[in-house]
Structure 1
Amino acid sequence: MRFKLKGTGGFASALLVFTPIVVPNTSLAYPIDCAILLCLSGGWPASAECTAARAEFIRRITPWPIEPPLQIWRCPMSVALQGDAPAERLWSISATALPAQTYKPQAALMRDLAIQVAGGPGANADISGPAFDFVRSIRVYDIDWYAWAGTTSDGDREVCHIPKARKRLGSYGPQGDFHWEGLSITTAPSWLDMNLHPDGPCVAAGRFRGVGVEWTDYFGAHGFELVRY
């Protein structure tokens, strides 16, 4: 975007070039993470809102870059909301996007989450309680592994060659903070289907590259998605 300055002297022909800065529109940016929060808790029921939320949840772990699939800090818990529109949108998600739960005793969960997420000034943003265990159940596996059995360059002894060894686990803390830590290749879950096997000095020989995410919803159902690349 170019702006020409009017004036006298050297400033008369000055030309400033501005690089547009994209400022997130929080009124548009936050609902998807609130929807992810609510839809994940209910086991991703079939609805337009939850389909979009799940698609964004999976997109974020698709390389590159690999992002936290739920960015709860973008859902304005304990924030003074301007007007009723944001709260109404979250109530709509909890009431209509999760129809399977609305007639169950557990339906209060969706309402309680919506209240905590979209409540007015002073809303409680503490998610350390058991109602939010489904957030802490999320695990992200980022693995780029290649290992094969061979010998040293002089053929003196057999060794395990590991030219690729990225293996890390992403998880959430008590308040929804996301962090990475190391992962043992032998403790990766079976649903990753890495097809690695012991071979001589290698405890896990083979090639695998992919990102996976797993979760357990509020009702205890386990789910996962794997993206190989």
Structure 2
Amino acid sequence: MSFAKPIIPVAFSLAIAPASTVSAHPIDCAILLCLSGGWPASAECTAARAEFIRRITPWPIEPPLQIWRCPMNASFHAETPGERIWSISATVLPAQTYTPQAAVMRDMALQLAGGRRANVDISGPTYDFVRSIKVYDIDWYAWAGETSNGEREVCHRPKARKRLGSYGVQGDFDWAVMDITAAPEWLNMNLYPDGPCEAAGRFRGVGVEWTDYFGQHGFELVRY
């Protein structure tokens, strides 16, 4: 697997709540915060990234970020939900705690902790990193050859699954058919034009790419 490694400035972490409280948070809240910050090095972000990749590993293939599972406008049924979520952001994003960009993470954490009355709208540019996530599910096998009676040359495609998963304005996930020739280079499919085939060859794998809040691109590819 390959991925882009973001450069994260070194800083001290900020602890607000006990570790037991942090460990109880929904994994999708951690994925949301860690992805936005470029997957900083921490135990929480390591676990969040592992779950993010596990979800695209066949089978079944799931949305890697399930933002609807992060209680953005629901109560945590806890005495201090604000402290719980802020402690998550401070723990999983230690490198950003004292940087100018930390305000973005603080605002996001406070929105997540909004409780019953929160009305979180993620359509703004702050959450563009959610909509940047793309999942490529491809099982493709094609070769040029003649018809069974030798009448003419055709492209045989016994395997032709080519789906693109993407996120909508409010974090909803959906699949659509994609053009096999539009697949990104990092998938390294090694397909080639051959006679009537626009993309001859064999490829089977699932890939996910994203761009974090700071504009750094990353990806993971699972071949099977």
TM-score tier by shorter-chain length is 0.7 to 0.9
Alignment partner of 2:183 out of 188, 193, 196: 188
The structure with the largest alpha-carbon Rg is: 1
Is the CA contact 2:44–2:91 (under 8 Å) kept in the aligned structure 1? Answer: no
Q: Say yes or no: does 1:209 pair with 2:204.
A: yes
The equivalent residue for 2:8 is none
Alignment partner of 1:45 out of 37, 40, 47: 40
Matches within 5 A, 1:54-133: 54-84=49-79, 86-133=81-128
Q: Provide the TM-score with structure 1 as the length reference.
A: 0.85
Deviation track 1:52-77 (CA, whole Å, cap 9, x = no partner) reads 00000000000000000000000011
Q: Indicate the SS of the match to 1:62.
A: coil
Q: Provide the TM-score with structure 2 as the length reference.
A: 0.87
In 2, the alpha carbon distance for the partners of 1:81 and 1:170 equals: 30
The equivalent residue for 1:33 is 28
Report the aligned-residue RMSD.
1.6
Pair 55,85 (structure 1): closer, same or farther in 2 beyond 3 Å: farther
User: Which deviates further from its counterpart, 115-124 or 128-137?
Assistant: 115-124
What is the total number of aligned residue pairs between the two structures?
A: 203
Deviation track 1:107-133 (CA, whole Å, cap 9, x = no partner) reads 011111111112222113211111000
Q: Say yes or no: does 1:166 pair with 2:150.
A: no
Pair 74,28 (structure 1): closer, same or farther in 2 beyond 3 Å: farther
Tell me, which stretches of 5 or more residues in structure 2 are unaligned? 1-21
Query: Per chain length, whose mean CA-contact separation is higher, i.e. which structure has more relative contact order (CA < 8 Å, sep 6+)?
Result: 2
Deviation track 1:43-98 (CA, whole Å, cap 9, x = no partner) reads 00000000000000000000000000000000011112312365433212211221
Is the CA contact 1:35–1:90 (under 8 Å) kept in the aligned structure 2? Answer: no
Q: % of aligned pairs identical?
A: 80
User: Which deviates further from its counterpart, 154-163 or 43-52?
Assistant: 154-163
Is the CA contact 1:135–1:176 (under 8 Å) kept in the aligned structure 2? Answer: yes
The equivalent residue for 1:134 is 129
Deviation track 1:150-193 (CA, whole Å, cap 9, x = no partner) reads 11111111111000000010000011000001100000000000
In 2, the alpha carbon distance for the partners of 1:170 and 1:105 equals: 33
Is the CA contact 1:33–1:70 (under 8 Å) kept in the aligned structure 2? Answer: yes
The equivalent residue for 1:23 is none
